Chains A and B, each alone.
Chain A
Amino acid sequence: MSYRSDDVPVTPDSVLLVIPAHNEGPNIERVVAEARLTHPDYDILVVDDGSDDKTAEKARRAGAMVLPLCYNLGIGGAVRAGYKFGSRHGYPIVARIDGDGQHDPRLLGNMVEMVRSGQADMVIGSRHMNGRGYVPSAVHWIGIRFFASLVSLVTGQRFTDTTSGFLVVNQACCAFLARYLPADYPEIEGLIKARKAGYSISEVPVVMRPRLDGQSSIGTWNAIYYVFKVTLAILVSASRQQEDFGCRK
Protein backbone atom coordinates (compact mmCIF):
# COMPACT_ATOMS: atom_id res chain seq x y z
CA MET A 1 0.00 0.00 0.00
CA SER A 2 1.43 3.37 -0.93
CA TYR A 3 0.16 6.89 -0.67
CA ARG A 4 0.54 9.98 -2.79
CA SER A 5 3.29 12.04 -1.30
CA ASP A 6 1.04 15.08 -1.00
CA ASP A 7 -1.26 13.32 1.50
CA VAL A 8 0.79 14.76 4.29
CA PRO A 9 3.60 17.10 3.35
CA VAL A 10 6.53 15.43 5.11
CA THR A 11 9.84 17.28 5.15
CA PRO A 12 13.21 16.26 6.66
CA ASP A 13 12.28 18.34 9.70
CA SER A 14 8.83 16.80 10.18
CA VAL A 15 7.91 15.17 13.44
CA LEU A 16 4.89 12.92 13.87
CA LEU A 17 3.43 12.83 17.36
CA VAL A 18 1.41 9.67 17.93
CA ILE A 19 -1.15 9.73 20.73
CA PRO A 20 -2.95 6.41 21.31
CA ALA A 21 -6.33 7.00 22.94
CA HIS A 22 -9.02 4.65 24.18
CA ASN A 23 -12.04 6.42 25.69
CA GLU A 24 -10.01 9.51 26.51
CA GLY A 25 -12.92 11.82 25.75
CA PRO A 26 -12.45 13.95 28.88
CA ASN A 27 -8.70 14.43 28.27
CA ILE A 28 -7.92 14.24 24.59
CA GLU A 29 -8.85 17.79 23.66
CA ARG A 30 -6.57 19.23 26.34
CA VAL A 31 -3.74 16.84 25.44
CA VAL A 32 -3.91 17.69 21.73
CA ALA A 33 -4.32 21.39 22.38
CA GLU A 34 -1.32 21.44 24.71
CA ALA A 35 0.82 19.52 22.21
CA ARG A 36 -0.16 21.89 19.39
CA LEU A 37 0.60 24.88 21.55
CA THR A 38 4.06 23.65 22.59
CA HIS A 39 4.99 22.18 19.21
CA PRO A 40 3.05 23.90 16.43
CA ASP A 41 5.38 22.32 13.87
CA TYR A 42 4.56 18.70 14.83
CA ASP A 43 1.94 16.67 12.98
CA ILE A 44 -0.32 15.17 15.60
CA LEU A 45 -1.95 11.80 15.01
CA VAL A 46 -4.47 10.50 17.51
CA VAL A 47 -5.03 6.76 17.10
CA ASP A 48 -8.57 6.17 18.30
CA ASP A 49 -8.43 2.64 19.69
CA GLY A 50 -12.09 1.72 19.19
CA SER A 51 -13.43 4.23 21.71
CA ASP A 52 -17.10 4.21 22.71
CA ASP A 53 -17.07 7.91 23.51
CA LYS A 54 -16.35 10.87 21.28
CA THR A 55 -12.55 10.62 21.48
CA ALA A 56 -12.09 10.71 17.69
CA GLU A 57 -14.44 13.65 17.16
CA LYS A 58 -12.91 15.65 19.98
CA ALA A 59 -9.38 14.96 18.79
CA ARG A 60 -10.32 16.06 15.28
CA ARG A 61 -11.93 19.19 16.64
CA ALA A 62 -8.77 19.96 18.60
CA GLY A 63 -6.85 19.89 15.33
CA ALA A 64 -5.30 16.43 15.26
CA MET A 65 -5.31 13.89 12.45
CA VAL A 66 -7.29 10.85 13.57
CA LEU A 67 -6.61 7.24 12.68
CA PRO A 68 -9.75 5.32 13.63
CA LEU A 69 -9.36 1.63 14.58
CA CYS A 70 -12.66 -0.19 14.04
CA TYR A 71 -12.40 -1.97 17.37
CA ASN A 72 -10.24 -1.94 20.46
CA LEU A 73 -6.83 -3.53 19.83
CA GLY A 74 -5.07 -2.54 23.02
CA ILE A 75 -2.35 0.04 23.46
CA GLY A 76 0.27 -1.85 21.45
CA GLY A 77 -2.04 -2.32 18.47
CA ALA A 78 -2.93 1.36 18.54
CA VAL A 79 0.69 2.52 18.80
CA ARG A 80 1.74 0.14 16.05
CA ALA A 81 -0.94 1.63 13.78
CA GLY A 82 0.63 5.02 14.49
CA TYR A 83 4.09 3.71 13.63
CA LYS A 84 2.74 2.22 10.40
CA PHE A 85 1.29 5.62 9.53
CA GLY A 86 4.60 7.32 10.31
CA SER A 87 6.56 4.73 8.40
CA ARG A 88 4.35 4.81 5.29
CA HIS A 89 4.48 8.58 5.08
CA GLY A 90 8.22 8.64 5.65
CA TYR A 91 8.39 10.71 8.83
CA PRO A 92 12.05 11.04 9.87
CA ILE A 93 11.06 11.23 13.54
CA VAL A 94 8.07 9.77 15.35
CA ALA A 95 7.26 10.68 18.96
CA ARG A 96 4.69 9.05 21.19
CA ILE A 97 2.87 10.29 24.27
CA ASP A 98 -0.14 8.94 26.18
CA GLY A 99 -3.61 10.33 25.67
CA ASP A 100 -4.28 10.91 29.36
CA GLY A 101 -2.08 13.95 29.89
CA GLN A 102 0.63 12.21 31.96
CA HIS A 103 3.35 13.24 29.56
CA ASP A 104 4.37 16.86 29.36
CA PRO A 105 4.92 17.65 25.66
CA ARG A 106 7.38 20.43 26.56
CA LEU A 107 9.89 17.66 27.39
CA LEU A 108 9.66 16.28 23.85
CA GLY A 109 11.81 18.97 22.25
CA ASN A 110 15.00 17.76 23.90
CA MET A 111 14.23 14.09 23.13
CA VAL A 112 13.48 14.86 19.48
CA GLU A 113 16.76 16.79 19.24
CA MET A 114 18.67 13.78 20.60
CA VAL A 115 17.18 11.51 17.95
CA ARG A 116 17.62 14.06 15.19
CA SER A 117 21.29 14.56 16.01
CA GLY A 118 21.81 10.81 15.89
CA GLN A 119 22.66 10.34 19.59
CA ALA A 120 20.21 7.45 19.72
CA ASP A 121 17.68 5.65 17.54
CA MET A 122 15.20 5.65 20.40
CA VAL A 123 14.97 8.01 23.37
CA ILE A 124 12.79 7.03 26.31
CA GLY A 125 11.50 9.41 28.96
CA SER A 126 12.12 7.69 32.30
CA ARG A 127 10.17 8.44 35.48
CA HIS A 128 12.67 6.71 37.70
CA MET A 129 15.98 8.22 36.63
CA ASN A 130 15.97 11.01 39.18
CA GLY A 131 13.07 9.79 41.30
CA ARG A 132 11.06 13.00 41.35
CA GLY A 133 7.36 13.56 40.83
CA TYR A 134 6.22 9.97 40.70
CA VAL A 135 5.75 7.76 43.78
CA PRO A 136 4.67 4.18 42.97
CA SER A 137 2.91 1.86 45.43
CA ALA A 138 4.98 -0.93 47.01
CA VAL A 139 3.69 -3.64 44.65
CA HIS A 140 4.15 -1.39 41.65
CA TRP A 141 7.68 -0.55 42.80
CA ILE A 142 8.60 -4.26 43.01
CA GLY A 143 7.21 -4.77 39.50
CA ILE A 144 9.16 -1.82 38.14
CA ARG A 145 12.41 -3.06 39.71
CA PHE A 146 11.77 -6.64 38.59
CA PHE A 147 11.26 -5.73 34.95
CA ALA A 148 14.03 -3.14 34.94
CA SER A 149 16.47 -5.79 36.23
CA LEU A 150 15.24 -8.46 33.83
CA VAL A 151 15.44 -6.16 30.82
CA SER A 152 18.87 -4.90 31.87
CA LEU A 153 20.02 -8.49 32.20
CA VAL A 154 18.67 -9.55 28.80
CA THR A 155 19.83 -6.50 26.85
CA GLY A 156 23.10 -5.85 28.68
CA GLN A 157 22.15 -2.18 29.04
CA ARG A 158 20.83 -0.56 32.21
CA PHE A 159 17.24 0.68 31.96
CA THR A 160 15.33 2.41 34.75
CA ASP A 161 11.86 2.77 33.25
CA THR A 162 10.89 -0.09 30.96
CA THR A 163 7.16 0.66 30.81
CA SER A 164 7.35 4.27 29.73
CA GLY A 165 5.03 5.26 26.90
CA PHE A 166 6.90 8.52 26.45
CA LEU A 167 9.40 8.01 23.66
CA VAL A 168 10.84 9.26 20.39
CA VAL A 169 12.20 7.08 17.58
CA ASN A 170 13.83 7.69 14.23
CA GLN A 171 12.57 6.47 10.88
CA ALA A 172 14.36 3.11 10.86
CA CYS A 173 13.31 2.28 14.39
CA CYS A 174 9.74 3.37 13.59
CA ALA A 175 9.61 0.98 10.64
CA PHE A 176 10.95 -1.79 12.87
CA LEU A 177 8.36 -1.19 15.59
CA ALA A 178 5.59 -0.88 12.98
CA ARG A 179 6.36 -4.50 12.25
CA TYR A 180 7.28 -6.04 15.56
CA LEU A 181 5.45 -4.21 18.33
CA PRO A 182 3.10 -6.65 20.12
CA ALA A 183 -0.61 -5.88 20.50
CA ASP A 184 -0.86 -5.73 24.28
CA TYR A 185 1.58 -4.34 26.86
CA PRO A 186 4.07 -3.39 24.16
CA GLU A 187 6.65 -1.19 25.91
CA ILE A 188 9.01 -3.80 27.38
CA GLU A 189 8.87 -6.14 24.41
CA GLY A 190 9.35 -3.29 21.95
CA LEU A 191 12.36 -2.13 23.94
CA ILE A 192 14.01 -5.56 24.01
CA LYS A 193 13.30 -6.35 20.37
CA ALA A 194 14.64 -2.98 19.22
CA ARG A 195 17.73 -3.40 21.39
CA LYS A 196 18.37 -6.92 20.09
CA ALA A 197 17.92 -5.75 16.51
CA GLY A 198 20.78 -3.32 17.08
CA TYR A 199 19.02 0.02 17.63
CA SER A 200 20.66 2.32 20.15
CA ILE A 201 18.44 3.41 23.02
CA SER A 202 18.90 6.20 25.54
CA GLU A 203 16.90 7.18 28.58
CA VAL A 204 16.37 10.73 29.75
CA PRO A 205 14.82 11.69 33.09
CA VAL A 206 11.30 13.11 32.88
CA VAL A 207 8.70 14.06 35.46
CA MET A 208 5.28 12.63 34.71
CA ARG A 209 2.07 14.17 35.89
CA PRO A 210 -0.95 12.36 37.30
CA ARG A 211 -3.63 11.39 34.78
CA LEU A 212 -5.95 14.24 33.98
CA ASP A 213 -9.14 12.31 34.46
CA GLY A 214 -10.52 8.77 34.70
CA GLN A 215 -9.01 5.38 35.50
CA SER A 216 -5.72 3.86 34.46
CA SER A 217 -5.98 0.83 32.21
CA ILE A 218 -4.40 -1.79 34.50
CA GLY A 219 -6.38 -3.65 37.22
CA THR A 220 -5.42 -6.60 39.45
CA TRP A 221 -6.11 -9.47 37.06
CA ASN A 222 -4.59 -7.54 34.22
CA ALA A 223 -1.52 -6.96 36.36
CA ILE A 224 -1.11 -10.71 36.92
CA TYR A 225 -1.55 -11.39 33.22
CA TYR A 226 0.85 -8.54 32.50
CA VAL A 227 3.63 -10.00 34.66
CA PHE A 228 3.18 -13.46 33.17
CA LYS A 229 2.90 -12.35 29.55
CA VAL A 230 5.76 -9.88 29.63
CA THR A 231 8.11 -12.21 31.51
CA LEU A 232 7.42 -14.92 28.95
CA ALA A 233 7.93 -12.46 26.11
CA ILE A 234 11.26 -11.33 27.58
CA LEU A 235 12.47 -14.92 27.85
CA VAL A 236 11.33 -15.71 24.31
CA SER A 237 13.05 -12.60 22.95
CA ALA A 238 16.17 -13.47 24.90
CA SER A 239 16.28 -16.94 23.37
CA ARG A 240 15.90 -15.61 19.83
CA GLN A 241 18.74 -14.74 17.54
CA GLN A 242 19.13 -11.30 16.06
CA GLU A 243 18.53 -12.63 12.56
CA ASP A 244 14.94 -13.43 13.51
CA PHE A 245 14.16 -9.74 13.36
CA GLY A 246 15.63 -9.09 9.94
CA CYS A 247 18.03 -6.81 11.73
CA ARG A 248 20.02 -4.05 10.12
CA LYS A 249 23.41 -4.49 11.76
Chain B
Amino acid sequence: MSQVEVIALGATLGLLALVIVLIRRSRLEEGYSLLWMLAGIVLVLLAAWRGLLRIISDGLGIFYPPTALFVVGFGFVILILLQFSVVISRLSRENVDLVHRIALLEWKLDQVTRSDEQPGQGPAPCDPDMPPAHPNEDAGND
Protein backbone atom coordinates (compact mmCIF):
# COMPACT_ATOMS: atom_id res chain seq x y z
CA MET B 1 0.00 0.00 0.00
CA SER B 2 1.21 3.44 -0.84
CA GLN B 3 1.32 6.22 1.69
CA VAL B 4 -1.73 8.00 0.27
CA GLU B 5 -3.78 4.81 0.44
CA VAL B 6 -2.91 4.27 4.10
CA ILE B 7 -3.89 7.84 4.93
CA ALA B 8 -7.11 7.58 2.91
CA LEU B 9 -8.11 4.31 4.59
CA GLY B 10 -7.27 5.66 8.05
CA ALA B 11 -9.23 8.88 7.48
CA THR B 12 -12.33 7.20 6.07
CA LEU B 13 -12.35 4.55 8.81
CA GLY B 14 -12.01 7.36 11.34
CA LEU B 15 -14.99 9.15 9.80
CA LEU B 16 -17.15 6.03 9.86
CA ALA B 17 -16.17 5.32 13.48
CA LEU B 18 -16.98 8.91 14.48
CA VAL B 19 -20.41 8.72 12.85
CA ILE B 20 -21.20 5.45 14.64
CA VAL B 21 -20.02 6.81 18.00
CA LEU B 22 -22.17 9.94 17.57
CA ILE B 23 -25.24 7.84 16.76
CA ARG B 24 -24.62 5.54 19.75
CA ARG B 25 -24.37 8.53 22.06
CA SER B 26 -27.57 9.99 20.59
CA ARG B 27 -25.67 13.07 19.48
CA LEU B 28 -26.75 12.40 15.89
CA GLU B 29 -30.33 11.50 15.00
CA GLU B 30 -30.63 8.33 12.93
CA GLY B 31 -32.65 10.16 10.30
CA TYR B 32 -29.84 12.61 9.65
CA SER B 33 -27.11 9.97 9.95
CA LEU B 34 -28.22 8.00 6.90
CA LEU B 35 -26.24 10.05 4.39
CA TRP B 36 -23.24 10.18 6.72
CA MET B 37 -23.25 6.38 7.19
CA LEU B 38 -23.55 5.85 3.46
CA ALA B 39 -20.72 8.31 2.80
CA GLY B 40 -18.51 6.61 5.41
CA ILE B 41 -19.11 3.10 4.09
CA VAL B 42 -18.62 4.03 0.42
CA LEU B 43 -15.45 5.97 1.18
CA VAL B 44 -13.96 3.12 3.26
CA LEU B 45 -14.76 0.70 0.44
CA LEU B 46 -13.12 2.92 -2.14
CA ALA B 47 -10.07 3.52 0.05
CA ALA B 48 -9.59 -0.19 0.73
CA TRP B 49 -10.44 -1.62 -2.66
CA ARG B 50 -8.14 -0.33 -5.38
CA GLY B 51 -9.93 -2.17 -8.18
CA LEU B 52 -13.23 -0.42 -7.54
CA LEU B 53 -11.55 2.97 -7.36
CA ARG B 54 -9.77 2.27 -10.65
CA ILE B 55 -13.04 1.28 -12.35
CA ILE B 56 -14.62 4.54 -11.21
CA SER B 57 -11.66 6.70 -12.17
CA ASP B 58 -11.46 5.04 -15.58
CA GLY B 59 -15.16 5.55 -16.07
CA LEU B 60 -14.89 9.23 -15.18
CA GLY B 61 -11.70 9.71 -17.18
CA ILE B 62 -9.61 10.49 -14.10
CA PHE B 63 -5.85 9.70 -14.50
CA TYR B 64 -4.91 9.54 -10.81
CA PRO B 65 -7.29 7.12 -9.00
CA PRO B 66 -7.16 8.72 -5.50
CA THR B 67 -8.68 11.84 -7.06
CA ALA B 68 -11.82 9.77 -7.68
CA LEU B 69 -12.04 9.30 -3.91
CA PHE B 70 -12.25 13.06 -3.48
CA VAL B 71 -14.81 13.36 -6.26
CA VAL B 72 -17.09 10.81 -4.58
CA GLY B 73 -16.49 12.42 -1.17
CA PHE B 74 -17.33 15.85 -2.60
CA GLY B 75 -20.55 14.43 -4.05
CA PHE B 76 -21.58 13.30 -0.58
CA VAL B 77 -20.69 16.70 0.90
CA ILE B 78 -23.00 18.40 -1.62
CA LEU B 79 -25.81 15.96 -0.85
CA ILE B 80 -25.42 16.39 2.91
CA LEU B 81 -25.36 20.20 2.60
CA LEU B 82 -28.51 20.06 0.51
CA GLN B 83 -30.14 17.91 3.19
CA PHE B 84 -29.16 20.54 5.76
CA SER B 85 -30.82 23.28 3.71
CA VAL B 86 -33.99 21.22 3.47
CA VAL B 87 -33.99 20.62 7.22
CA ILE B 88 -33.26 24.29 7.99
CA SER B 89 -36.10 25.39 5.70
CA ARG B 90 -38.48 23.11 7.56
CA LEU B 91 -37.23 24.27 10.95
CA SER B 92 -37.66 27.94 10.10
CA ARG B 93 -41.17 27.29 8.80
CA GLU B 94 -42.06 25.49 12.03
CA ASN B 95 -40.39 28.24 14.00
CA VAL B 96 -42.61 30.90 12.46
CA ASP B 97 -45.66 28.83 13.35
CA LEU B 98 -44.42 28.59 16.93
CA VAL B 99 -43.89 32.35 17.18
CA HIS B 100 -47.44 32.86 15.89
CA ARG B 101 -48.86 30.40 18.35
CA ILE B 102 -47.00 31.96 21.27
CA ALA B 103 -48.20 35.42 20.21
CA LEU B 104 -51.83 34.29 20.02
CA LEU B 105 -51.56 32.56 23.40
CA GLU B 106 -49.86 35.57 24.96
CA TRP B 107 -52.64 37.81 23.72
CA LYS B 108 -55.21 35.39 25.09
CA LEU B 109 -53.44 35.20 28.45
CA ASP B 110 -53.40 38.97 28.61
CA GLN B 111 -57.18 39.02 28.04
CA VAL B 112 -57.79 36.45 30.77
CA THR B 113 -55.55 38.28 33.25
CA ARG B 114 -57.30 41.55 32.56
CA SER B 115 -60.82 40.21 32.92
CA ASP B 116 -59.81 38.52 36.19
CA GLU B 117 -58.49 41.80 37.53
CA GLN B 118 -61.65 43.68 36.57
CA PRO B 119 -64.54 41.34 37.35
CA GLY B 120 -67.84 42.22 35.74
CA GLN B 121 -66.13 44.24 33.07
CA GLY B 122 -65.59 42.05 30.04
CA PRO B 123 -62.57 42.59 27.87
CA ALA B 124 -63.18 45.48 25.52
CA PRO B 125 -59.79 45.75 23.89
CA CYS B 126 -60.83 48.16 21.20
CA ASP B 127 -63.88 49.94 22.50
CA PRO B 128 -64.16 53.13 20.44
CA ASP B 129 -65.80 55.08 23.26
CA MET B 130 -63.03 54.21 25.68
CA PRO B 131 -60.65 57.11 26.17
CA PRO B 132 -56.99 56.26 25.56
CA ALA B 133 -55.77 54.40 28.63
CA HIS B 134 -53.44 56.07 31.06
CA PRO B 135 -49.84 55.00 30.38
CA ASN B 136 -49.42 53.53 33.88
CA GLU B 137 -52.55 51.42 33.74
CA ASP B 138 -50.79 48.47 32.11
CA ALA B 139 -47.86 48.45 34.52
CA GLY B 140 -49.34 45.72 36.73
CA ASN B 141 -49.82 43.29 33.86
CA ASP B 142 -46.27 43.18 32.54
The residues of A with any CB-CB pair to B shorter than 8 Å are: 1, 3, 6-8, 33, 36, 40-44, 47, 57, 60-71, 73, 77, 80-81, 84-85, 88, 183
Contacts and interface: CB of A to CB of B under 8 A. Distances in A.
Contacts of B128: 36, 40-41
Please give me the 10 A-B residue pairs with the lowest Cβ-Cβ distance, nearest first: A40-B128, A65-B125, A43-B126, A81-B100, A67-B103, A69-B103, A77-B96, A67-B107, A69-B99, A63-B132
Contacts of A61: 132-133, 135, 138
Given A3-B108, A61-B133, A65-B107, A80 B126 contact: no
B65 interface: no
Contacts of A41: 128
B102 A7 contact: no
Contacts of B101: 1
Contacts of A42: 126
Interface of B: 92, 96, 99-108, 111, 122-123, 125-126, 128, 130, 132-133, 135, 138
B106 A68 contact: yes
Contacts of A57: 135, 138
23 contacts: A1-B101, A7-B111, A7-B123, A8-B123, A33-B132, A36-B126, A40-B128, A43-B126, A61-B133, A63-B133, A64-B126, A65-B126, A67-B103, A68-B106, A70-B99, A70-B103, A73-B99, A77-B96, A77-B99, A77-B100, A81-B104, A84-B100, A85-B104
B107 A66 contact: yes
A6 B133 contact: no
Contacts, number: 69
Contacts of A43: 125-126
A72 to B, nearest CB: 10
A65 to B, nearest CB: 4
Nearest to A47: B103
Nearest to A71: B99
B102 A8 contact: no
A84 B106 contact: no
Given A57-B138, A63-B133, A7 B108 contact: yes
B122 A6 contact: yes
